[in-house]
Amino acid sequence: MAKKHEMIYRDLVRKITHQLYQSGTFLPSENELAALYGASRETVRKALGSLLENGFIHKIKGKGSLVLGLDKYAFPISGLTSYRELDSLFDMHTDTQVLQLAQTTVPQTLFHLEADEELPATYIQRLRIVNGEPLVIDNDYVLTNVVPHISKGVAQDSLYRYFEETLNLEIGYGSKEFTVVPATEGQRQILKLPPNSSVVSVKGITHLQDNTLLQFTESIHRADKFKFIEHARRKML
């Protein structure tokens, strides 16, 4: 069950996303939010801290929490967030289409593998559609020595949910590589992009808690619909 501050955070994100709290305006005060949610000020501060960290607000001393512009979906750079979790957070009402489901090996060049490093995998290509617009192409390669079989129903739903809740796998950590690249002809057709468009390629490698390789992913995002965020703190060197 989600903690109270997480529930408040998610509710405030939805209200900001749906412009109940519009950009350029201030959120209610900590006391007002505490009364609204029946929570302590410390709990509210934790929720506001998450909003600040993920780029939804800016704190101004003596004034409060200023709502920032949200013209794109904010995808966190750090952390391992599934698309379904992002969908739930933003209340995006996403449809998922499974375009391909096949047995293959992980592409060596794409993920900088050694020439003799052949990793059998289940390849799942999915298209994410939000409000009738195709936004993301997910290309997942799940290693068959860890997950021998993935059904179309699982691919249609959530891989992470299947890994964690059905197979009881403990996802540990991963790495991500972000690049802006010209869209291929196939990507332009699927995402309905004009000629000479660019996309954001997010390549990821995911390990289990015991360091076992689990998954290779390349997600192709429409650059006009997503922003990628990370919270940075000033450190004196």
* 104, pLDDT greater than 90: yes
Instruction: For domain 4-67, say whether CATH 1.10.10.10 is its number.
Output: yes
Higher pLDDT, 223 or 103: 103
* 231, pLDDT greater than 80: no
Per-residue pLDDT, 79:
57
Confidence of residue 223 (pLDDT cuts 50, 70, 90): confident
- Percentage of residues of the chain with pLDDT beyond 70: 84
* 51, pLDDT greater than 80: yes
The pair of three-digit structure tokens given for residue 10, joined into one six-digit string: 């998610």
The pair of three-digit structure tokens given for residue 81, joined into one six-digit string: 């967030």
Q: What average pLDDT does the structure give for the chain?
A: 87
Per-residue pLDDT, 53:
78
Question: Which of the 8 DSSP states describes residue 86?
Answer: H
As annotated, the residues of the chain forming the CATH 3.40.1410.10 domain(s) are: 73-229
- Residue 11 neighbours by CB under 8 Å, 6+ apart: 37
- Percentage of residues of the chain with pLDDT beyond 90: 62
Confidence of residue 130 (pLDDT cuts 50, 70, 90): confident
The pair of three-digit structure tokens given for residue 210, joined into one six-digit string: 């015991």
Is there a contact between 200 and 228 (Cβ–Cβ < 8 Å)? yes
As annotated, the residues of the chain forming the CATH 1.10.10.10 domain(s) are: 4-67
* 90, pLDDT greater than 80: no
**Least confident segment among 148-162, 177-191, 217-231:** 217-231
Distance from C-alpha of 183 to C-alpha of 133, rounded to nearest angstrom = 17
* 173, pLDDT greater than 70: yes
CATH number for the segment(s) 73-229: 3.40.1410.10
**Greatest alpha-carbon span in the chain:** 62
* 72, pLDDT greater than 60: no
- Distances 224 to 41, 71, 72, 107 between C-alpha atoms, Å: 37, 9, 7, 28
